[in-house]
Homo-oligomer: A and B are copies of this chain.
Amino acid sequence: MSRPYLLVSNDDGVTAKGINFLVDTLRPVADLLVVAPDSPRSGAGCSITSVRPIHYDVLLSEPGLTVCSCSGTPVDCVKLALNVFGERRPDLVIGGINHGDNSSVNAHYSGTMGVATEGALQGYPAVAFSLCDHSPDADFSPLAPYLVDFVFKAIAAGLPPFTCLNINFPRRPRFEGVRVCRMARSRWARELSPCPHPRDDRYFWLAGDCDELEPDAPDTDRWALAHGYVAVTPTQLDVTATGLIEILRNVL
């Protein structure tokens, strides 16, 4: 395969360790365009910026590597990259590496998955990489060989339209292997934590815990991660609940 061209963004911001580890790992084997938020956008989901202009700066421009910061969301970054730097079509759009777990329902809130979703909506193969470790100084080194392998396999195999891959790595020095999974059902709970203010008791931090709804189901991403495997969850962007169509036709 010729040297691939990769569009990379994230939600932790352009200076985060995760995205820079990804770039350092892939640069020897690929050309890269990085357009990432100028500061953290954790929990940005697929949000876009509609009420103010978005702005970018070119931080680095070398043969095979351009790095830009953008004032917008992760999805904005992908849109900007494809529209403003669109002279070469990327072979793959990559979100990450995220600092933190984007498996199960977290995918809905994840800006890293927002990058992959937008890439796929725009017609490109797309993957999101996340490490289940929120620490800014998380150790990404065990991921290196997997990143290269996933990138080349995704490009070679291709992905069907309106799909992308949500790939999560457990926090551990080595992995048991790779498992292709379905999204586990889970539910965030106890999410509002008081943020004491001297004159106002209506400030809260959003935090909480994620309750597993099917912890023993071995075909899920959560099970794979809990047992030391890399979890690959194929994700569809046509979110029609097909099985409900006929049922609702009889009800509505």
Given contacts A48-B109, A49-B43, A204-B53, contact A183 B238 (CB under 8 A): yes
**Selected interface stretch from A17-25, A90-98, A186-194:** A186-194
Question: Which of A224-243 touch B at CB < 8 Å?
Answer: 232-242
Q: How far is the CB of A21 from chain B (nearest CB, A)?
A: 21
Q: How far is the CA of A251 from the CA of B108 in the complex (A)?
A: 26
Q: Does A185 contact B (CB under 8 A)?
A: yes
Chain A interface SS verdict (over half): mixed
Contact pick for A206, options B76, B114, B123, B236, CB 8 Å: B76
Decide if A203 touches B53 in the complex (CB within 8 Å).
yes
Q: How far is the CA of A190 from the CA of B107 in the complex (A)?
A: 27
Decide if B123 touches A204 in the complex (CB within 8 Å).
no
User: Contacts of A233 on B, CB cut-off 8 Å?
Assistant: 240
User: Contacts of A109 on B, CB cut-off 8 Å?
Assistant: 46-48, 75
Q: Does A66 contact B (CB under 8 A)?
A: no
Tier of interface size on chain A: 35 or more
Decide if A245 touches B238 in the complex (CB within 8 Å).
no
Decide if B50 touches A43 in the complex (CB within 8 Å).
yes
User: Contacts of A187 on B, CB cut-off 8 Å?
Assistant: 121-123
Q: Does A248 contact B (CB under 8 A)?
A: yes
Q: How far is the CB of A128 from chain B (nearest CB, A)?
A: 12
Q: Could you list some 15 contacts between A and B, CB below 8 A?
A: A40-B51, A43-B49, A47-B111, A54-B206, A55-B203, A79-B206, A121-B188, A161-B185, A178-B252, A234-B240, A234-B241, A234-B245, A235-B240, A236-B240, A239-B239
